[in-house]
Copies of this chain bind each other. A is one copy, B any other.
Amino acid sequence: MDDRVREHAEVLVDWSARVDAGDQVVMDIAEGAHDLAVAVAAELGERDARLLTTYGSSEVGRAFLRAGDDDDREFAHSEPKLAMLEAADVYLRIGGGRNTTALADVDGDRRRRARKATTATREARMDTDWVSTVHPTRSLAQQAGMAYEEYRDFVYDAVLRDWESLAEEMANMKEILDAGSEVRIEKERTDLTMSIEDRTAVNSAASVAYDSHNLPSGEVFTAPHATEGEVYFDVPMTIDARRVRGVSLTFEDGEVVDFAAEQGEEAIADVLATDEGARRLGELGIGMNRGIDRFTDSILFDEKMGDTVHLAVGRAYDACLPEGESGNDSAVHVDMITDMSEDSRMLVDGEVVQHNGTFRWEDDFSAE
């Protein structure tokens, strides 16, 4: 076994999920994630955790979702799954399938019905100390347009970081956002302002101890509102299996009033039409993981990339909001990414905090 698989497992169990003796752990294992699951099981045994393994297979899911006539299918949630999650302290999702388009021929309406039916199990999962990570597979390498060995190097560069020191660096950004009232982003075809008054930023350092549930992570995010102006997203992405690139959004009074895309404009139109919340921002995230050096068409990695900013239309995270207050509500949360490495600035309350990819606290920073 590649030593990096073992190191990945150790980071997941120790840094990310903070597993202790006696913890009740459920590990969900994708079709191609067996090797990482074996390494994680060894780490969990080492800590005398309890372990149940579930099988997260897209192909099993496809067969189950497609079967039967529409009228005969109820798509209710699984009671054993709900009971299992309610009894779990920690939920580890080990992604890594054998075909990222395995669900391509499942009818959209069935997906939506199944998704709605599983609200209870999704909420029970969110109540655990959950962490999502991914084992590099050939299928993910293909999606990224990379060779398999090359992709593995990419994944481990992103995952095997000095998380403690990255968390310290990201604390600078959290401090600035927590103290600030307004964020402004300026670049090509972009001049956007958002209020972050009374919002708390999350220092997403890939650990449940930081309210962060992705490995890799490496972003600082908050829940903006009262958005005004224009923004252009130059990083391509896939939304509901449709290729999208060059998206422009125009905001007035916090709401999208105009949009365009160089490719896949219909996918954006569909997202924005979902509900009222889908036309407002739910997230502003600042990517700070410089171990991620390229886009791979996977949001788990793309949104954490150093020198990027992403905005999501749709649902906001409770962790960013004042106690008891609820943020933008929506059935969707769709992230879009813009490159901040060149000809760009981010300002908080009028002061430049990032310029051409360099942050204010870094040595070679200059505001102009």
Complex contacts, A111 vs chain B, CB 8 Å: none
A60-B37, A60-B41, A87-B82 given; A76·B50 CB < 8 A: yes
Known: A41-B60, A45-B68, A79-B88. 7 other contacts (CB 8 A): A22-B74, A37-B57, A38-B57, A41-B63, A48-B68, A48-B72, A52-B84
Residue of B nearest to A67 (CB): B45
Question: Which listed residue, B67, B77, B82, B85, touches A44 by the CB 8 Å rule?
Answer: B67
Complex contacts, A51 vs chain B, CB 8 Å: 64, 78
Contact indicator per residue, chain A 61-96, by CB within 8 Å of chain B (1) or not (0): 101111110001110111111111111100000000
State the oligomeric state as a number of copies. 2
Q: Closest Cβ of chain B: how far from A12's Cβ, in Å?
A: 14
Give CA–CA (A46, B70) in the complex, Å.
Answer: 10
**Is the Cβ of A80 less than 8 Å from the Cβ of B22?**
no
User: Is A47 interfacial (CB 8 A cutoff)?
Assistant: yes
Q: Mind listing 7 A-B residue pairs with CB under 8 Å?
A: A29-B55, A42-B66, A43-B67, A51-B64, A52-B78, A52-B81, A54-B54
Count of residues in A whose CB is under 8 Å from the partner chain:
51
Complex contacts, A77 vs chain B, CB 8 Å: 50
Give CA–CA (A362, B281) in the complex, Å.
Answer: 75
**Is the Cβ of B34 less than 8 Å from the Cβ of A31?**
yes
A residues neighboring B (CB under 8 Å): 21-22, 24, 26, 29, 31, 34, 37-39, 41-48, 50-57, 59-61, 63-68, 72-74, 76-88
**Is the Cβ of B84 less than 8 Å from the Cβ of A63?**
no
